[in-house]
Amino acid sequence: MFKFLHWEQNRPYIYRVLIFITVATLLTIAIPIKRTSQYQYTKDKPWQGALLTAPYDFPIYKSEEQLRREQ
């Protein structure tokens, strides 16, 4: 049991354990526990807030059938 406490013999193992504990601690601190959004919304309801627009244009691909139904 006391062989583990010999610094010179077990230095690589002690370094690995310390690096693992450090990385685990940093990841625990860095990852947020609760994510919140500044917008309030309800599923399956129309948007209730102010006008929300994207800063860029993007295409919305629709099939011919969807286009006919919407016209």
Cite the DSSP H helix spans in the chain.
7-30, 64-70
| Contact between 3 and 9 (Cβ < 8 Å) | yes
pLDDT of 63: 92
3-state DSSP call for residue 8? helix
Report pLDDT digits (tens) over 1-28. 556 567 677 788 889 999 999 999 999 8
Q: Whole-prediction pTM value? A: 0.40
pLDDT of 24: 95
pLDDT of 22: 97
Report pLDDT digits (tens) over 31-68. 877 777 777 788 888 888 888 788 999 998 999 999 89
